[in-house]
């Protein structure tokens, strides 16, 4: 009886890194898409830093959820908060949306994960180690924040 090692990759290779010989180049591949999105976000961020969206002349649309429902979503105030955060006005940024640092950090981690997956490096180890309870906790915090900022007396949570 002889034992042979299979060189076939497992079917579910979502989180398994590919060998360097199988990794795609960034140019002309699907791996370029995260960089295109990053460029668009960077140019949008630069526009938001230069043009204050809170002065009425920023040229940016208001929150579509708030426009449709009249309720504050968890992202309401993020544009104004980002403007103040990038200008170093942390207290002012937090007054527009208390979750802006956590939301921007989560979006950054999501982008890094996307980039590593599409370039064949697999899901980063630190992402795989996040427990399901952490995701549930984050969702509950987001839901609680949304409910609280829509209560009649929660003017401080509404972003100015």
Which of the pair, 121 or 156, is modelled with greater confidence?
Answer: 121
> What pLDDT does residue 31 have?
76
Query: Distance between CA 112 and CA 95 in Å, rounded?
Result: 28
Query: Distance between CA 58 and CA 34 in Å, rounded?
Result: 26
**DSSP line for 50-78:** HS-GGGS-S-PPPPHHHHHHSS--TTTTH
Listed residue (17, 2, 3) closest to 125, CA to CA: 17
> What pLDDT does residue 15 have?
58
Query: Distance between CA 28 and CA 33 in Å, rounded?
Result: 10
Q: Report residue 58's pLDDT band, with 50, 70 and 90 as the boundaries.
A: low
Query: Distance between CA 60 and CA 54 in Å, rounded?
Result: 9
- Say how far residue 58 (Cα) sits from the centre of its chain: 22
Q: pLDDT digit string (tens) for 71-115?
A: 888 888 888 888 899 899 999 899 889 999 999 999 999 999 999
Residues 66-71: contacts with CB within 8 Å, 24+ apart?
71/150
């Amino acid at each position: 009886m002889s034992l042979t090692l299979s060189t076939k990759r497992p079917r579910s290779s979502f989180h398994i890194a590919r060998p360097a010989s199988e990794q795609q180049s960034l140019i002309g591949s699907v791996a370029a898409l995260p960089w295109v999105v990053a460029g668009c976000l960077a140019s949008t961020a630069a526009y938001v830093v230069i043009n204050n969206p809170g002065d009425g002349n920023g040229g940016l649309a208001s929150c579509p959820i708030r426009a449709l429902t009249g309720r504050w979503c968890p992202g309401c105030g993020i544009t104004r908060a980002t403007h103040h955060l990038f200008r170093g006005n942390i207290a002012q940024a937090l007054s527009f949306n208390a979750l802006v640092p956590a939301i921007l950090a989560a979006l950054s981690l999501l982008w890094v994960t996307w980039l590593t997956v599409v370039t064949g490096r697999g899901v980063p180890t630190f992402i795989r180690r996040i427990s399901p309870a952490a995701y549930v906790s984050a969702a509950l915090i987001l839901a609680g924040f949304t409910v609280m900022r829509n209560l009649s007396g929660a003017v401080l949570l509404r972003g100015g």
